[in-house]
Structure 1
Amino acid sequence: MLYLESPAGVGFSYSDDQSFYTSANDVITASDNLAFLEKWFEKYPQYKNRDFYITGESYAGHYVPQLANLIVHSKAKINLKGIAIGNPLLDFNTDFNSRGEYLWSHGLLSDDTYDMFNSKCNYSTIRRQGQARSYTPTCSLVANQASKEIGRFVNAYDVTLDVCLSNVFSQSLVLEQVQDEETKIDVCVEDETIEYLNRKDVQTALNARLVGVNNWTPCSEVLSYDMDNLEVPMTPVLTSLIKSGIRVLVYSGDQDSVLPLTGTRVVVNGLAKQLGLNVTLPYRAWFNGNQVGGWTQVYGDALTFATIRGASHEAPFSQPERSIALLRGFLAGKPLPSANEIAQKPERVIPHL
């Protein structure tokens, strides 16, 4: 498994050419990533004939499909079989406009504020104006009202998790699951990661060094990315990949309000209709162990949508077991387990309301 920091300027990666930081965009990122892979396979030729998959989450909804498409059309000698993208940005308007409905349906917004998103200023417009740092009075009113109602103590990347209250008094949220053991989620993991990766002994062990920055940070302090790229739709790229025989898995942690599943499945369903793909596996629950892992639907033999129940924007953070079960199924090319495949337990009678 390879972990690639991309583009240069994030994490411990850097560019010797300082002008790179002012001109980075999706096209350059895809080209650089392909150059890296080709050099890596030259150095480790024993892996050349192995099946190759690319995965990523969030803005990797741009990075992953574009890299995969470049591999296919450049005829690179890489045995690409499929891609998996989680809570991905695929269509700017659809993805961001789904946030209002998601937040309202989870009780974070009032009816009046939700109505304002639908009638006065939607989330994609607010996001667009925020990037330009120029809000209209109407959109400013809607955004401020939503922020006031949501408050400062909700993690937008997982609306069910607590927030980290202090670096000193680290806390853990315990989610009790009927899986013989408890799963603990450290909601202060970002603060702890920052502290850990800025330790000199850790950097030495990773053979990493800081170039042009004083500290490792979650967000780049030097890179100026072309934010107009966010509005480039990825459905044409996914269409090209599927037509080329590349398998595509799109999955969503269902507690994420930043890029909610409600928008993602609209995009995926639209993509399937555009390609004329029939539903080969109707929408149903899939299982990990004896518990529901999420829901899934398969179109044709190349496009799969799935949710991961109880998972955040970065699904493996809050649901590692369900995430790895999903990815193992995808790599094996097998349908996710159904209720009929799990060990049956005696039914409990639950009164209906």
Structure 2
Amino acid sequence: MAYKKLVFFVYLSFLLSHTNGKTQTQRLSSIYKSGKIKNRIGSSHYIYNNFEEAQVYSQEGLKENDLIKGLPGQPPVRFKQYGGYVTVNQTAGRAFYYYLAESQNSPNSSPLLLWLNGGPGCSSLGYGAMQELGPFRVHSDGKTLYKNPFSWNQGANVVFLESPAGVGFSYSNTSSDLNSNGDRRTAVDNYNFLVNWFNRFPEYKDRDFYIAGESYAGHYAPQLAQTILYHNRYSSNTTTIINLKGIIIGNGFISSETDMKGMYEFWGSHALVSDEITDQIMKYCYSSSSDSIQQHDACNEAIKEAIPLANAVNNYNIYAPTCFNHSLTQNPNKPSVLHMDPCTDDYVDAYLNTPQVQKALHANLTNIPYPWQRCSDDEVFSWQDMPRTVLPLLKELMTSGLRIWLYSGDVDGNVPVTSTKNTIKDMKLPIKSSWRTWYVEGEVGGFTQVYEGELTFATIRGAGHEVPSYQPARALSLINSFLAGIQLPYSSTDY
């Protein structure tokens, strides 16, 4: 068991280390070595549902205060934006920050989509809103914005949630909360956020509601969905019912053992590591009948040899260029949404740490003991519980009639397409619609297969871990099909 934990830690540290480099890895290392999660991370009897009555607080007058009149350097738009805090636990003083971009088309009838980035510990505002699917991107001057023509708020009202406490602008007045975050409490807090947010925005209460996210949202999304369904069925408070219709997860961290094996397979098949190293990992780490990691010193040695080789490139898009100049420009460079600037992280960091921007967003800086960060570091943030797999949850949700889509950018090397394929294979689902191409603007957007129980799997051709960043047009087509409840376009003329 100790050996399995070691290999799992090596994998998880690598998986999450893209955000803060060594700092993020050291944070995970300190969590693991503390022993706080030793009985939770490896349990095969992880109890997901944790029913607690919703914490409902008065929202009177708060919506009007959240209206964003305009962001610094923003081009003119016709849709409304809101940003602010929703208290999720009044006793502890935990409050989550959200940013709402209303639909550009028919906001009064469009569905509501909640976006969650992963980590755990990474910002949905800094990634999802400002680099991926939000209405704006940040110029190279770090001061001005330009429009994203492929924003997901073209067909939905999109809420970006900073979760849990200690992520982005979200906070807790109880300092110990930041050292005791985990899957269970995050699901409860996210649910409390939604219940109170719907009370603040009652016009969305009966709308079709969807949860979307990427990476560690592979845990967040199904756990939140289960919490919603549990309350819908058993709560005595009918005002807390949420009209959940489906979840969609991109390059999701879902099942550690199939994810791990798929990652090593991807590295070998894409020439990041040698055939000899790949063969050693498959020989010494895995048996032919199981995806579970095997106890063997040669396994650990092969993995340690493979990781620095895979790290030589941007493993979150193995074909993406590298940022060599982290300085901002005095005047904005000519931007291109279709070709992601490799230094975008720097532009977003500068923009969201500008006092005028924080004021416009209604960020409460007095409750945040450090500058805004895309991902929280180990000095102020830790994680307590995570199951090795959420596959039982996905199966449970499928029996509830929810629409479930899993998608993979096919050049992500951390939670690659091979990992998600292995995970779905582990579910042993009958195939409803066979593997085929799907199209965007006359070109192959990727490949897709539909399984019994209405689980759809889709690849996005040429996309890395953050799919909407690298292939925005294909990502928009994907989400439009998901929200409409239709299959992805069949031919080059059917889009």
Shorter chain as denominator, the TM-score bin is 0.7 to 0.9
Query: Which residues of 2 match residues 329-340 of structure 1 at below 5 A?
Result: 329-339=481-491
Aligned to 2:465: 313
* Displacement after TM superposition at 1:269 (Å): 3.2
Aligned residues of 1:83 and 1:246 also touching (Cα < 8 A): yes
What is the CA distance between 1:119 and its match in structure 2?
2.8
Q: Deviations over 1:287-311 (max 9, x none)?
A: 0110111100111352100011111
Contact 1:272-1:299 at 8 Å conserved across structures? no
> What is the match of residue 51 of structure 1?
208
Report the residue type matching 2:344 in the other structure.
V
- C-alpha spacing 1:321/1:91, structure 2 compared with 1 (3 Å): same
Is the aligned partner of 1:24 residue 2:181? yes
Superposed displacement of residue 58, structure 1: 0.3
Q: Report the Cα distance in structure 2 between the residues aligned to 1:58 and 1:270, rounded to whole angstroms.
A: 19
1:224 counterpart residue number: 382
Does residue 1:64 correspond to 2:221, yes or no? yes
2:449 maps to 1:297: yes
The CA distance in 2 between the partners of 1:245 and 1:143, in whole Å, is 40
The Cα shift of 1:192 comes to: 1.7
Residues 82 and 247, structure 1, Cα contact 8 Å, conserved in 2: yes
Q: Which residue of 2 aligns with 1:146?
A: 306
Q: 1:251 aligns with which of 407, 413, 422?
A: 407
Q: How does 1:244-283 map to 2 (within 5 A)?
A: 244-273=400-429, 278-283=430-435
**Runs of 4 or more off by more than 6 Å in structure 1?**
none
Task: Name whichever structure is richer in helix by fraction.
Answer: 1
Task: Please tell me whether residue 165 in structure 1 is matched to residue 303 in structure 2.
Answer: no
The one-letter amino acid of 2:381's match is L
Where does residue 437 of structure 2 map in the other structure?
A: 285
Q: CA-to-partner distance for each residue in 1:127-173, whole Å, 9 max, x for gaps?
A: x9xxxxxxx97566334422443453x11100010111220388xxx
Kindly provide the CA deviation profile for residues 187-207 of structure 1, in whole angstroms up to 9, marking residues without a partner as x. 111122112211111111111
Question: Structure 2 counterpart of 1:165, which letter?
Answer: F
CA separation of 1:169 and 1:147: change in aligned 2, threshold 3 A: farther
Which of 334-343 and 11-20 deviates more?
334-343
Is contact 1:81-1:247 (8 Å) kept?
yes
Residues 247 and 405, structure 2, Cα contact 8 Å, conserved in 1: yes
SS of the equivalent of 1:2 reads strand
The equivalent of 1:204 in structure 2 is 359
Shift of 1:48: 1.0
More divergent stretch after superposition (307-316 vs 187-196): 187-196
Show structure 1 runs of 5+ residues with no match: 123-127, 129-135, 175-180, 344-353
* TM-score, reference length from structure 1: 0.83
Cα distance in 1 for partners of 2:402, 2:494 equals 30
Corresponding residue for residue 125 of structure 1: none
Give the distance between the partners of 1:321 and 1:240, measured in 2 at CA: 32
The amino acid of 1:320's aligned partner reads: P
In 2: Cα distance, 1:59 partner to 1:325 partner: 23
What letter is aligned with 2:179?
Answer: T
Q: How far apart in 2 are the matches of 1:112 and 1:100?
A: 12
Q: Which residue among 98, 112, 117 is the counterpart of 2:281?
A: 117
Identity over aligned pairs, percent: 42
- Correspondence 1:193 to 2:351: no
Q: Which moves more between the two structures, 81-90 or 298-307?
A: 298-307
Matches of 1:266 and 1:337, distance apart in 2? 25
The answer to whether the aligner puts 1:73 opposite 2:246 as a matched pair is no
Q: Are 1:183 and 2:338 an aligned pair?
A: yes
Shift of 1:45: 1.3
Aligned 1:75-90 pairs, distance under 5 A: 75=232, 76-90=240-254
CA contact (8 A) 1:110 1:149 kept: no
Partner residue in 1 for 2:165: 8
Please give the alpha-carbon distance, in whole angstroms, between the structure 1 residues aligned to 2:337 and 2:247.
Answer: 31
SS in 1 for 2:171: coil
Distance in 2 (alpha carbons) for counterparts of 1:340 and 1:200: 47
In 2, distance between residues paired with 1:63 and 1:90?
10
Contact 1:254–1:309 under 8 Å retained in 2: yes
Q: In the superposition, relative to structure 1, how do residues 316 and 199 fare at CA in structure 2: closer, same or farther (>3 Å)?
A: same
Partner Cα separation in structure 2 for residue 243 and residue 301 of structure 1 = 7
Distance in 2 (CA, whole Å) between partners of 1:169 and 1:254 is: 31
> Using a 3 Å threshold, how does the CA distance of structure 1 residues 30 and 326 change in structure 2: closer, same or farther?
same
- Residue equivalent to 1:108: 272
Asked whether the equivalents of residues 438 and 447 of structure 2 are also in contact (C-alpha less than 8 Å), the reply is yes
Q: Distance in 2 between matches of 1:220 and 1:169?
A: 23
What stretches of structure 2 of length at least 5 have no aligned partner? Answer: 1-157, 233-239, 287-292
CA contact (8 A) 2:405 2:482 kept: yes
Deviation of 1:230 (Å): 5.0
| Residues 197/137 of structure 1: CA separation in 2 closer, same or farther (3 Å cut) | farther
Q: Work out the CA distance in 2 between the residues paired with 1:325 and 1:230.
A: 32
Residue 93 (str. 1) matches residue 257 (str. 2): yes
